Amino acid sequence: MKVLKFGGTSVGSVKNMSNVKDIITDGSKKVVVLSAMSGTTNQLVAIAKYIENNESNKAIDKINVLHEIYFNTIDELLKESLLNSEVKNYVSSVFEFLIESTDKDYTEALKNRILAQGELLSTFMFNSYLKQEGISSTLLPALSFMRIDEFKEPDSDYIEAHFKSAIDLAEDSEIYITQGFICLDSNDEISNLQRGGSDYTATLIGAAFKADEVQIWTDIDGMHNNDPRYVENTRAISNLSFEEAAELAYFGAKILHPQTVTPVRKDSIPVRLKNTMKPDAHGTLISNSTLGDGIKAIAAKDNITAIKIKSARMLQAHGFLKKVFEIFATNETSIDMITTSEVAVSLTIDDDKNLDKILAELDKFAMIEVDKNQSIVCLVGHSVVNHQGTYKLFKILQDVKIRMISYGGSNNNISLLIDSKDKINTLQKLNSYLFELVTL
Ligand code: ADP
Ligand code: ASP
Ligand code: MG
């Protein structure tokens, strides 16, 4: 059995939902994971923000606009009157909950309950649409099996056991529909796998029952060799290894949630990226095989903070780095890049919620410089270090100021730290030097 995940655009209009229906009805049993309709989660985030800021009138206006959009979509999607009113009843109960929320005290738990509604709406609507089309499908509530632990990590034993019993208890059917993104936390409160988390739901489910394959269906024909939002003439990459895909996802390729490949890697369950609007395009196959050497793709991750820690006696003082790393570890902050010299160590973090505490501790024994608004540009491939084409990367040194460079840490990745304002220019320059036939 396979797991197929469809993203926001894929379920974002009646036309696209009909494409999804065609893709999933090939006669084989499958689990279908759906995101919220495109734009919905952003709207729910905005509604929660208004509630947090005590601007309930603005929240109510937004809720009413969204309610109307959903009713219009239902009228277009569900011509069968019983199903139409059943779905409208459900949708109205969701919007009632949202309206009631505008009167409540804002908490993180309330925000998470609000954010969860997008996937609950899309799956309910789509399951009813399949029923209308005479397709055998069952809704599996993600909250009955998807769970994170007290460290916010997926609880894979729980997920495996509860997913299996959810399937066993469900009515036998061709298609099992479930919600991406949402889960319970260790206190049984509704939570989520962070933005873009439906991809992660799909691979967690795939790992739970050792699926034959996980497919991520989106609005582009696979992983491109550069960020198509900023660079023209990017191309889809037909094959990537798990390592290469993990680096690209972690370092900002938005097509995949950063942790997407983690659950399926150990069992070598292939992940296929496909375009809902062009199902015949090859897409990208992520598997154990590595095809070709050299740099294959570039991605960029924003909101990076760089910290330079200077001490006159850094290297002579053994245990200096240990002391530094311990401060980050006790403050639950992971480090992405690191470079060292005789007197200083520079490193980067992307989660700065404990930055003040970290700086206060570092300040006791070192001089510190902090630069915010940095981006990591990551060049990913196989055997990238020493590959004959890699030298071309240094051509950009004349155009872009590089703050840090990490070369040789792994054979899959070369990372550059730059000011975020130089990101688009850097991505474009790298594209022309590395992937286009530019004479040097
Ligand atoms: P979905 O809603 O289906 O999950 P996302 O918006 O999360 O879709 O991801 C798909 C988008 O990721 C594409 O439309 C594209 O703009 C963006 N993207 C960024 N980097 C890449 C890349 N390297 N390859 C493909 N798409 C990318
Ligand atoms: N709907 C969620 C989001 O927009 C999850 C997802 O689409 O993967 O972040
Ligand atoms: Mg996504």
Give the number of whichever ligand sits closest to the CA of residue 200.
2
Cα of 34 from ligand 2 centre, angstroms: 9
Widest Cα–Cα separation across the chain: 78
pLDDT on residue 315: 58
Reading phi first (left if > 0) and then psi (alpha if -120 to 50, else beta), residue 401 is in beta
Cα of 379 from ligand 2 centre, angstroms: 26
Atom of ligand 2 nearest to the CA of 7: 7
Q: Spell out which residues line ligand 2, taking CB within 6 angstroms.
A: 7-8, 35-36, 41, 118, 180-181, 195-198
- Determine contact, residues 276/19, Cβ cutoff 8 Å: yes
At 164, give phi and psi (nearest 5°).
Answer: -60, -45
Cα of 40 from ligand 2 centre, angstroms: 9
The whole-angstrom separation of Cα 338 and Cα 343 is 14
Cα of 134 from ligand 2 centre, angstroms: 28
Give the number of whichever ligand sits closest to the CA of residue 41.
2
The whole-angstrom separation of Cα 198 and Cα 154 is 13
Residue of 33, 38, 191, 198 to test ligand 2 pocket, by largest number of atoms within 8 Å of CB? 198
Six-digit token pair at 261? 């490949």
Give the number of whichever ligand sits closest to the CA of residue 35.
2
pLDDT on residue 281: 97
The residue whose C-alpha atom lies closest to atom 5 belonging to ligand 1 is 255
Adjacent-strand bridge partners of 239: 285
pLDDT on residue 316: 62
- Determine contact, residues 386/415, Cβ cutoff 8 Å: no
Secondary structure element (H or E) that encloses residue 183, with its range: strand 182-184
- The verdict on the CB of residue 220 being under 6 Å from ligand 1 is yes
pLDDT on residue 311: 83
Cα of 41 from ligand 3 centre, angstroms: 11
CA-closest candidate to residue 285, choices 240, 224, 249, 235: 240
For residue 67, give the amino acid letter.
H
Distance of CA 323 to the CA centre of its chain: 32
Cα of 255 from ligand 2 centre, angstroms: 11
pLDDT on residue 305: 98
The whole-angstrom separation of Cα 424 and Cα 31 is 38
CA-closest candidate to residue 254, choices 185, 325, 302, 191: 302
**Structural domains of the chain sorted by starting position, each given as residue range(s) with its CATH number in brackets:** 2-219 (3.40.1160.10), 296-434 (3.30.2130.10)
The residue whose C-alpha atom lies closest to atom 8 belonging to ligand 2 is 196
- The verdict on the CB of residue 219 being under 6 Å from ligand 1 is yes
- Determine contact, residues 47/74, Cβ cutoff 8 Å: no
What is the pLDDT tens value at each position of the chain, 440 positions in all?
Answer: 999 999 999 999 999 999 999 999 999 999 999 999 999 999 999 999 999 999 999 999 999 999 999 999 999 999 999 999 999 999 999 999 999 999 999 999 999 999 999 999 999 999 999 999 999 999 999 999 999 999 999 999 999 999 999 999 998 999 999 999 999 999 999 999 999 999 999 999 999 999 999 999 999 999 999 999 999 999 999 999 999 999 999 999 999 999 999 999 999 999 999 999 999 999 999 999 988 888 999 999 999 999 999 986 665 667 888 899 999 999 999 999 999 887 889 999 999 999 999 999 999 889 999 999 999 999 999 988 878 778 888 888 888 899 999 988 888 999 999 999 999 999 999 999 899 865 54
Atom of ligand 2 nearest to the CA of 36: 1
DSSP 239-291: EEEHHHHHHHHHTT-TTS-TTTTHHHHTTT--EEEEETT-TTS--EEEES---
Cα of 180 from ligand 2 centre, angstroms: 8
pLDDT on residue 312: 67
